[in-house]
Structure 1
Amino acid sequence: MEDLKYDTVMVRYGELAIKSEQVRNKYEKILIKNIEAMLDLHKIEYQEIVRERGRIYVISEDKRAPAVISNVFGVVSTSPVITTGPTLEESCKVAAAIGKEVIKDGESFAINARRAGAHDFTSQDAGRKCGDAVWEAIKDRHPRVDLKNPDHEIFVEIREERSYIFTGVIRGTGGMPLGSQGKMVALVSGGIDSPVAAWMMMRRGCEIIPVYFNNEQYVDEAYTQKAIDTIRKLKEWSPGHDFKVYEVPHGECLRTFRERGNIRYTCVFCKRMMYKVAIEIAKKEGAHGIITGSSLGQVASQTSENLLIEHHGIDFPIYHPLIGLDKNEIVDMAQRIGTLDISVRPAMGCQAVPKHPAIHGRIEEIMKMESEQVDFDKMIGDALSRARITIM
């Protein structure tokens, strides 16, 4: 046992475990399919993926596998493990070898043991026996046993057919398996917020249909490229699931409204137009809702009054996963998911934003402008007919 061989990745999931047998079985199969796609994306070899109740095991000796699998939506944590037979003696032998490898002079350790199935010993027995074996293997290093805050914790899981021994736990992304909750249209811009919002709903199991509204003459090419690149970054989180990306021309709509409407309502009108176009795309694609990056009070169009106007008369689910987060929290998430560096690249912001936008808008005003000064249906039809579709 001098050369320890971690031959398996233990994959843990969370809320899937509390689902009914039928639903859990369905979601586990989706999760395994997503794990396979993530491993294939990173060219990680594996021999097999095995399901046991409450656990998934990926048979692979690739040291990258635990970290890569931890990025699959639905995975709570992973551990590289050494497998051995289901006897207490075999488990003790491996635990002692791990202790000898990782525990240094004067350091403390603890054994976290559990067993499942029919055995002639308890979990407490397994913990004591393995602890004794580790102590005996390293007693010349003067180790200490600390059950509350050890320097090293060795985990022993003994099941019916084999035992799993490990010491490291890698925190996973959590959430629900991607593809378990249907599809939604995600409004994605080149900013920080919208890709984070899309990612959060992906984490809850939604496949997304990214839609970018290109404000054309009011932004530069660098801003458009940021939007496309953030979508590509989101795609890295969803191997095995194609993105059908819509790029919708939007500059002409803004120009028309700025010429005919109250310019202070430009941002509110812009968002309403986005919603109406996105709803038509959602109906076409069989999606169940619209995702936005709105955070309450962050910009003029996201005050509570203006959010009310933007949603007025719209009979379709609109989700704002960031609504209660502050900017620092959103930035931290963007950093974690890999979109922040893209979103903060230099680019010209939208020049259609008025110098003094309406903050406390009135529904009556925007309804009057829409009915008397702009032809909403025509603009929606024109935008959809000119939309460019790309498969990623």
Structure 2
Amino acid sequence: MKFIVRLHAEITIKSRSVRQRHLKVLTGNLRTLMKPLDSSVRVNSRWDRIDIYHSAGAEVTAKIIQFLQQTPGIAYFEQVSEHPLTEFATLLEWILASQTQRLQNKTFAVRVKRKGNHEFSSIDLARYIGGGIRARVPGTDVALKNPQEEVVLHVIDDVVSLVEHRFPGLGGFPLPTQETVLSLMSGGFDSAVASYQMIRRGARTHFCFFNLGADAHEAAVREIAYFLWEKYSRTHAVKFVTVDFSEVVERILEHADPGTMGVMLKRAMMRAAGQVAQLVKAHALVTGEAVGQVASQTLSNLRVIDSATDALILRPLIVSDKQDIVDQARKIGVEHLSAVVPECCGVISQQPSVRVNPELILATEQSVLPDSLINQVVANSVAVDIREIRVNPVAGPAIYQDSIPDNAVIIDIRTDDEEELAPLKLAKHKVLHIPFFRIARKQDTLDKNTTYLMYCQQGVMSRLQAIYLKEQGFVHTGVYEQTNLNKD
């Protein structure tokens, strides 16, 4: 069995030295992927292609196809069968043996590409094979434009290759022909797709997650990062860095102007991420922001966010529509993972400003988020080799709506402002107000034998906090969702 791998078009138009470097890197990546499959697999580099041979069974063939479809730098690849260059009549019999059933009652065209010195032209061979097929396969007719089927032959010196299947590749550049980047992961569609696009473009992509106070959220994001790495960049190890931002969030919620909270949080993330990037030797930060998608992503606010760090900030999705982002997430395989990790409801101000006052931001940061705090959270960050991550699905908590256990205590984990605007009042159940960012510190005041149900308006952070408490030994935890039926 043989595969012919074609380089992405942008590689083929580069200078000779750059093209050779990309070809060498891609060949090395493919050898790394193919080596564990079977001892018969061989990867040979040519000037205009990469040839892959193996003599193993269908399982290895399927695995090779999978790896080639997931490796950056490949325009397309072809699964071919080979035959020595002999008389045209012999070649016709060989082609008919495998193609007759596919071509019956269809229009077709024969395409021939040659490389080497031959006494015949490509058109000569195409005409002979095409005429033979038309004469011997029932219901066929030649159609050079828009045929239903194509018979593609590659003649290289004294070997003829018949293309059995052609598969699209990812395109892009081989890893790591571009410089290293650090992607800020939230777990949503945007950051996952932005990370994929940088990987596809040939950049080794480390992952950074800012934990706002929910370990279950971190586990979900870690799963997405691991999926992207294993599927699209497993040839090169990267880091998954976790930064505990719970204290930063608490200070913002307690002291920042409500309209500036989102921008202040992102500025704090950029300040910390710039330091993390230096630790992992990344040359740029990557985010999933798209202009105008939310209030913090207006051009004015993005400019304020960018000024928080000297690091280059790349935004691959800057002009992408949300539906296009979701569609690409589905295509690359992360939709089902990101769909269950929506944005947390805890750090979204009720009336965010689309044009924050930079002077107000800087003045607040100096007192609320000093450099010493950012330096400390970065110093306490945890970086792990992504190959050491073991993805364990986190079981979701029980959801309670109309039927609530009699002895249950509801914990309202919304911020102070949210709770004041719409207090949760239940006639038959006790309600505690503990903002989500204080749960970890307040857990010692809770009774592990009591049933605690978490509550927030969107239901995302409440699920994460319920899982967190269960991991801390609170067996009886769940989520309370308010409906029209259970409102007092």
Normalised to the residue count of structure 2, the TM-score between the two structures is 0.74
1:63 equivalent in structure 2:
61
Equivalent residue for 1:386? 380
Change (3 A) 1:348 1:305: closer
How big is the shift at 1:313? 5.2
Match of 1:180 in 2: 177
d(CA) in 2 for partners of 1:361, 1:34: 46
Report the counterpart of residue 189 of structure 1 in structure 2: 186
Partner Cα distance (1:132, 1:278) in 2: 65
Equivalent residues in 2 for 1:231-242, closer than 5 Å: 231-236=225-230, 237-242=232-237
Q: Residue 103 of structure 2 aligns to which amino acid in structure 1? A: I
Shift of 1:335: 0.6
**Mapped partners of 2:32, 2:223: distance in 1:** 21
Q: Which residue of 2 aligns with 1:100?
A: 100
Q: Which residue of 1 aligns with 2:161?
A: 164
Corresponding position of 2:72: 73
How many Å apart are 1:99 and its aligned residue? 2.3
| Alignment-derived partner of residue 248 in structure 2 | 253
Describe how 1:217-296 pairs up with structure 2 within 5 A: 220-236=214-230, 237-296=232-291
Identify unmatched segments of 5+ residues in structure 2.
Answer: 387-488
Aligned pair 1:317/2:307, yes or no?
no
Which residue of structure 2 lines up, in the alignment, with residue 127 of structure 1? Answer: 126
- C-alpha separation between the residues in 2 aligned to 1:148 and 1:45? 43
1:35-94: CA deviations, max 9, x gaps? 2333357x3665311222211111135431234312210111111101122446354443
SS in 1 for 2:165: coil
Aligned to 1:4: none
Distance in 2, Cα, partners of 1:51 & 1:347? 44
CA contact (8 A) 1:34 1:239 kept: no
Q: Is the 8 A contact 1:222 1:346 kept in 2?
A: no
The amino acid of 1:267's aligned partner reads: G
- Deviation string, structure 1 residues 245-277 (Cα, Å, up to 9, x no partner): 100111111211222322321111111111111
Partner of residue 298 from structure 1, selected from 293, 302, 323: 293
Aligned equivalent of 2:196:
199
**Within 1, Cα distance between the matches of 2:308 and 2:262?**
17
**How far apart, in 2, do the equivalents of 1:68 and 1:12 lie?**
14
Residues 274-314 of structure 1 show CA distances to partners (whole Å, capped at 9, x for unaligned) of 11111112122221100000011111211111101101253
Distance 1:45 1:151 in 2: 38
Measure the CA separation in 1 of the matches of 2:223 and 2:35: 22
The letter of the residue matching 1:286 is: K
Displacement, 1:224? 2.3
Matched residue of 1:234: which SS?
helix
Partner of 1:116: 115
* Alpha carbons 1:91, 1:165 under 8 Å: kept: no
- Decide which structure has the larger Cα Rg and report it: 2
Contact 1:114/1:126 (<8 A) preserved: no
**How many residues matched?**
378
Distance 2:374 2:342 in 1: 27
8 Å Cα contact 1:108/1:144 also seen in 2: yes
Distance in 2, Cα, partners of 1:91 & 1:320: 52
- Counterpart amino acid of 2:238? F
Listed one character per residue, the Cα deviations across residues 86-145 of structure 1 (whole Å, up to 9, x for unaligned) are: 4463544433333224222x212111111112111111112112212333442xx12111
Change (3 A) 1:59 1:137: farther
Worse overlay, 242-251 or 143-152: 143-152
For residues 87 and 311 of structure 2, what CA distance do their matches in structure 1 show?
Answer: 58
Q: Which amino acid aligns with 1:261?
A: A
Amino acid at match of 2:211: N
**In structure 2, what is the Cα distance between the partners aligned to 1:325 and 1:44?**
42
Deviations 1:202-241 (A, max 9, x none): 111000110001001xxx4443222111101111211221
* Alignment partner, residue 41 of structure 2: 47
Q: Give me the TM-score of the superposition, normalised by structure 1.
A: 0.91
Identity, in percent, stands at 27
Distance in structure 2 (CA, Å) of the matches to 1:289 and 1:135? 58
Distance 2:342 2:175 in 1: 32
Distance in 2 (alpha carbons) for counterparts of 1:286 and 1:252: 26
Q: Secondary structure at the residue paired with 1:148?
A: coil
SS in 1 for 2:111: strand
Q: CA deviation at 1:16?
A: 1.4
Query: How large is the RMSD of aligned CA atoms in angstroms?
Result: 1.9
Equivalent-residue separation in structure 1 for 2:67 and 2:355 (angstroms): 47
Match of 1:336 in 2: 331
Q: Which piece of structure 1 moves more, 129-138 or 202-211?
A: 129-138
Q: Alignment partner of 1:211: what SS?
A: strand
Q: Aligned partners of 1:44, 1:362: CA distance in 2, in Å? A: 61
C-alpha contact 1:192 1:334 (8 A) present in aligned 2 = yes
Shift of 1:18: 1.3
AA of the residue aligned to 2:271: K
Name the structure, 1 or 2, with higher relative contact order (CA <8 Å, separation 6+).
1
Structure 2 CA distance for partners of 1:287 and 1:337, relative to 1, 3 Å: same
Of stretches 141-150 and 187-196 in structure 1, the one that deviates more from structure 2 is 141-150
Match of 1:3 in 2: none
Q: CA deviation at 1:387?
A: 0.7
**Separation of aligned partners in 2, 1:44 and 1:190:** 36
Q: Is the 8 A contact 1:246 1:390 kept in 2?
A: yes
Cα distance 1:91–1:369, how it changes in 2: closer, same or farther (>3 A)?
farther
Q: 1:88 to 1:173 in 2, by over 3 A?
A: farther
Q: Decide whether aligned partners of structure 1 residues 91 and 275 sit closer, same or farther in structure 2, where only a CA change above 3 A counts.
A: farther
Q: Is the 8 A contact 2:187 2:342 kept in 1?
A: no
From 148, 153, 161, the equivalent of 1:151 is 148
Task: From the superposition, tell whether residues 273 and 94 of structure 1 become closer, same or farther in structure 2 (CA, over 3 Å).
Answer: farther
- Residues 147 and 360 of structure 1, relative CA distance in 2, 3 Å threshold: same
